[in-house]
Amino acid sequence: MSTIQLTQLTTRFAYYINSNMRLIDSKVLQEVRVVGFESGCRSKERLLQLGIVPGVILKIKRLAPFAGPLIVSIEGSDVVLGRGIAKKIIVEEI
């Protein structure tokens, strides 16, 4: 892959990431689709274990006050996510 192609691909990816929102920015009871992650290998592995994979639909059930965790519904199961990991999940509105 040439340098020009790599630069164009990086620019497109950056635009795609910036045009979508983070899970932490979603509202309560809003349904969103997971697009990707912006995290390290261990965080990705943990999210995959929880069933949070690209394409899955999430629904935020509750945002705890005072910077507490989020309760997210994934295919009928509730999962608690900290705000730090929720900032790394890139989603799009449905």
Kindly report, residue by residue over 22-69, the tens digit of the pLDDT.
888 888 888 999 988 887 788 888 888 888 888 899 999 988 888 888
Q: How many domains does the chain have?
A: 1
Please give the biggest Cα pair distance in the chain: 49
CATH code of the domain in which 43 resides: 2.30.30.90
Instruction: Specify the pTM.
Output: 0.71
What pLDDT shows up at residue 57? 92
Does residue 1 surpass a pLDDT of 80?
no
Question: Does a structural domain hold residue 31?
Answer: yes
Domain hosting residue 66, numbered range: 21-93
For residues 5 and 8, what is the distance between their CA atoms, to the nearest angstrom? 5
What pLDDT shows up at residue 73? 92
